[in-house]
Amino acid sequence: MRENWYTDKKQKKTKDVSDMERKKILLVEDEVKLARFVELELKYEGYDVTVCHDGREGMQQITDGKYDMLLLDLMLPGLTGIEICRRVRKFSQIPIIILTAKDEVMDKVAGLDSGADDYMTKPFAIEELLARMRVAFKHSAGTAVKKSVLQVQDLEIDLEKRMVTVGGKLVDLTKKEYELLTYLVQNKNIVLTREQILNEVWGYSYIGETNVVDVYIRYLRAKIDEAFGKKYILTIRGVGYYVKEEE
Ligand code: CA
Residue 146: predicted pLDDT: 44
Q: Which helix (H) or strand (E) holds 120?
A: strand 118-121
Q: Are residues 136 and 154 in the same domain?
A: no
Q: Is the pLDDT of residue 194 over 80?
A: yes
Q: What is the domain count for the chain?
A: 2
Pairing of strands 69-73, 118-121: unpaired
- Same domain? 132 vs 156: no
Q: How far is the CA of 73 from the centre of ligand 1 (A)?
A: 6
Note if the pTM is more than 0.75: no
In a domain, 6, yes or no: no
If one compares 9 and 75, the residue with the highest pLDDT of the two is 75
pLDDT of residue 63: 84
With residue 27 as reference, give the H or E element that holds it.
Answer: strand 24-28
Owning domain of residue 88: 24-141
Ligand 1 mean position to 226 CA, how many Å?
39
**CATH code: domain of residue 44:** 3.40.50.2300
Q: In this prediction, what percent of the chain has a pLDDT beyond 90?
A: 52
- How far is CA 232 from its chain centroid? 25
Q: What is the pLDDT of residue 229?
A: 92
In this model, does residue 18 exceed pLDDT 60?
yes
Residues 53 and 73 in one domain: yes
Average pLDDT of the residues in 11-34: 81
pLDDT at 206 > cutoff 90: no
With CA atoms as reference, report the closest residue to 183 among 240, 247, 238.
240
CB 85 within 8 A of CB 115: yes
Dist. CA 55 → ligand 1 center (Å): 10
Q: Does one domain contain both 88 and 115? A: yes
Task: Indicate whether 205 pLDDT > 60.
Answer: no
Tens digits of per-residue pLDDT, 37-84?
999 999 999 999 999 999 999 999 998 778 999 999 988 999 999 999
Query: What's the 105 CA to ligand 1 centre distance in angstroms?
Result: 18
**Tens-digit pLDDT profile for residues 116-175:** 888 888 889 999 999 999 999 988 776 554 447 888 999 999 887 889 999 999 999 999
Distance between Cα 71 and ligand 1 center (Å): 12
DSSP helix, strand, coil percent of the chain (3-state; round to 5):
40, 20, 40
Ligand 1 centroid distance, CA of 29 (Å): 6
pLDDT at 141: 73
Cα-to-centroid distance, 82 and ligand 1 (Å): 12
pLDDT of 44: 94
Cα 34 to averaged position of ligand 1 atoms, centre (Å): 10
pLDDT band at 102 (very low <50, low <70, confident <90, very high): low
pLDDT of 145:
47
Across the chain, what does the average pLDDT equal? 85
DSSP element (H, E) containing 130: helix 126-145
- In terms of domains, do 130 and 195 share one? no
Residues 111 and 194 in one domain: no
Residue 103: the pLDDT is: 65
